[in-house]
Structure 1
Amino acid sequence: MKRVAVLGATGLVGRTFVKLLGGHPWFKVEKLIASEKSAGKKYGDLVEDSPEEFRDYYVISLNEFLENPGVDLVFNALPASISRDVEEKLAQEIPVFTNARAHRYDEDVPILVPEVNKDHLKLVEVQRKRRGWKGFIVTNPNCSTAILTLSLAPLRNFGIKKVRVATMQAISGAGFSGLSAYAIQDNVIPFISGEEWKIENESKKIMGKLKGDEIEPASFDVIAIATRVPVIHGHTEAVFVELENPDIKSIREAIENFDPLKDLKLPSYEKPIVYTEIPQPRLHRDRGRGLTVTVGRLERTSEGVKYVALGHNLVRGAAGGSVLNAELAYKLKII
């Protein structure tokens, strides 16, 4: 049993980490870390819907934790603005599985979606050698990117040439204070700062090939438009893919049969993709405990196919993806 700490445990992603790790067979949460103003208070007093298991845990400040971590691995849900230094300090001794973007674009740090690019975990050894660390950093992607790349993975064998995507992203992706009710009610906001760049660049890294000590990004272009819509949880994406071999029947079969890690029996693992003709956030975001992406509306176009993908942004797109990353590393004896 690995001793675990959750950083940023009172935020939306941090709360999701805590819920997902309750009763975990491999990871035992021992420390919950939050801001100085939360330190010394019981987690249940700060988070009303805390799992019973953690209600009486006393929250620790980040500075106190960094003085003496005393755990085997860390899940990070801190803001990107403070994550870089914190992650590098911890990774000298401890594996860090992070939702923050601070290290996603480092050459020796994988952006991991286990069902899509598990071989990228080999970068951990490159990272340790280059940086002289005992631990390491593994990132998960931006929430929209996680959903998109998972939906694209079954299409690899059909020769992806171009990807175009328009996202309709839930308000929880902006955090507790990210949007006012007045701004989002009765509205669609066709701009999310930095989001389109992340989707376009992270997708190419995730879908790329590991060659030696580095990742060669995917050769196809990804172009995104990101919008915010008045949905609480669940990002919906309209995806258009140009393919070398757009055999619609074979593509449908590949999507429905896609289940690459089922034999590893990871504790959190769920079938990664389920096909439903009309995916909808309210109906389908919680599929597979929030880890399953729903794909539908698959149709042939003049250049390839178009479809709709839907996933839970806080689970598959954030904390749940990071927990899966750690489970894969544990199963492969990297931790």
Structure 2
Amino acid sequence: MKLKVGILGATGMVGQKFIELLSEHPWFKITSLAASERRIGKKYGEEVRWIVSQDVPKEVRDLELLPMDPKEFDADIVFSALPSDVAREVEKKFAEAGFVVASNASAYRMEEDVPLIIPEINADHLALIDVQKKNRGWDGFIVTNPNCTTIILTLTLKPLMDLGLREVNVATMQALSGAGYPGVASLDITDNIIPFIKGEEEKVESEPLKILGKLEGNKVRFADLKISASCHRVPVIDGHTEAVFARFDREVTVEEVREAFENFKPLDLPSSPEKLIIIREEADRPQPRLDRNAGRGMSVVVGRIRKDVSGIKYIVLGHNTVRGAAGASILNAELLVKEKII
């Protein structure tokens, strides 16, 4: 029997991506959808402006949109695609009411007792769930996934940690879908690059330190790593591209980095890709249009691994609304099931 799942913020871009990815999921069945107050009581298929694929999946077309009230939800797991300011209050209400909340929002990511999870990297941080429930008196709990840019970057940093990684500079070229819908005005982004995304650099510089940190008792000791980020919006629909400059505490070769990437294995979960990090040998890859859907959007693609004046540099690309958002939350929920936490 499939577990029942609900989605908060179901009509937005990430909410739609949740529905697309969950529509034929082997473990989960969508039973509850919530949206803004003005949409309550309306059928999802009639109300949503569907933009992530050809058609609204038939199993959700006639679902009635619900208020963001735990009493209205019939679900074992609630996925949150809410804006951060709304998520802080709404996710708390659902956790208090006993729901498992798998959140894509940033509201609780950096709270000491809230797991910030990339399953292939820090599944052991799920031990914070018990700490969270005890600290807050909640019957349920919140588990978060990182910022989209953070996920794509950190999946490549983890295998480098054993090589003595000490400092990272990253310049990002981020897709329009990362800004939601309708996103960036066409007259701002056409024939242009916008060298600022509010709050993004701070997330990219701080979230990997928690993810790559070690669980010690009731808290995470952040990784001893320096990260400096410059984030930019570019006229690409989907797929974040990142230029990474990594420095180590010893001399590291391209071959060592390549081997570390190749040996970083995916988990055995329904949404896991066959290969976690795909290395492209061509001089001009990865490219968003060609590579964003690798591994059904759940792989990251690396290319141009080469020596730098003081370390190694490479390009990494990932699908920001799949691996970087909805797919990440779904993978977290699958991990919770596999670990028998739900």
TM-score (norm 2): 0.94
SS at match of 2:120: helix
State the alpha-carbon separation in 1 of the partners of residues 212 and 112 from structure 2: 14
Q: 2:56 aligns with which of 50, 58, 72?
A: 50
The letter for the 2-side match of 1:302 is: V
Kindly indicate whether residue 293 of structure 2 is the aligned counterpart of residue 273 of structure 1: no
Deviation at 1:260, TM superposition (A): 4.3
Kindly indicate whether residue 223 of structure 2 is the aligned counterpart of residue 218 of structure 1: yes
State the alpha-carbon separation in 2 of the partners of residues 134 and 2 from structure 1: 18
Equivalent position of 2:121 in the other structure: 116
Kindly indicate whether residue 295 of structure 2 is the aligned counterpart of residue 288 of structure 1: yes
Kindly indicate whether residue 257 of structure 2 is the aligned counterpart of residue 255 of structure 1: no
Deviation at 1:81, TM superposition (A): 1.0
The letter for the 1-side match of 2:312 is: V
Q: 1:321 aligns with which of 311, 315, 328?
A: 328
Equivalent position of 1:14 in the other structure: 15
Deviation at 1:249, TM superposition (A): 0.9
Q: 1:82 aligns with which of 82, 86, 105?
A: 86
Which aligned pairs between 1:96-107 and structure 2 lie closer than 5 A?
96-107=101-112
* 1:238-274 Cα distance to aligned partner (Å, 9 max, x none): 000001241321210111221142xxx2111112211
State the alpha-carbon separation in 2 of the partners of residues 223 and 267 from structure 1: 34
Which aligned pairs between 1:1-335 and structure 2 lie closer than 5 A?
1-45=2-46, 46-48=48-50, 49-62=55-68, 65-92=69-96, 93-245=98-250, 246-261=252-267, 265-270=268-273, 271-277=275-281, 278-335=285-342
**Contact 1:244/1:304 (<8 A) preserved:** no
Deviation at 1:23, TM superposition (A): 2.0
Deviation at 1:52, TM superposition (A): 1.9
CA RMSD, Structure 1 to Structure 2 (Å): 1.2
The letter for the 1-side match of 2:295 is: G
The letter for the 1-side match of 2:307 is: R
State the alpha-carbon separation in 1 of the partners of residues 74 and 4 from structure 2: 8
The letter for the 1-side match of 2:278 is: V
Deviation at 1:112, TM superposition (A): 0.7
State the alpha-carbon separation in 2 of the partners of residues 130 and 12 from structure 1: 33
SS at match of 2:340: coil
**Contact 1:293/1:311 (<8 A) preserved:** yes
TM-score (norm 1): 0.96
* 1:62-116 Cα distance to aligned partner (Å, 9 max, x none): 2xx3333232110000111111111111112111000111101100011111111
After superposing the two structures, state which structure 1 stretch, 53-62 or 156-165, moved more.
Answer: 53-62
* 1:152-209 Cα distance to aligned partner (Å, 9 max, x none): 1111110111010000000110111331000000000111111000100111111111
State the alpha-carbon separation in 1 of the partners of residues 291 and 60 from structure 2: 28
**Contact 2:32/2:74 (<8 A) preserved:** no
State the alpha-carbon separation in 2 of the partners of residues 196 and 21 from structure 1: 30
The letter for the 1-side match of 2:209 is: K
5+ residue gaps, structure 1: none
State the alpha-carbon separation in 1 of the partners of residues 190 and 58 from structure 2: 34
Percent identical among aligned pairs is 53
SS at match of 1:294: strand
The letter for the 2-side match of 1:306 is: K
SS at match of 2:39: coil
Q: Deviating runs (4+, > 6 A) in structure 1? A: none
**Contact 1:235/1:313 (<8 A) preserved:** yes
The letter for the 2-side match of 1:282 is: R
**Contact 2:31/2:74 (<8 A) preserved:** no
- Give the total of aligned pairs: 330
State the alpha-carbon separation in 1 of the partners of residues 232 and 19 from structure 2: 28
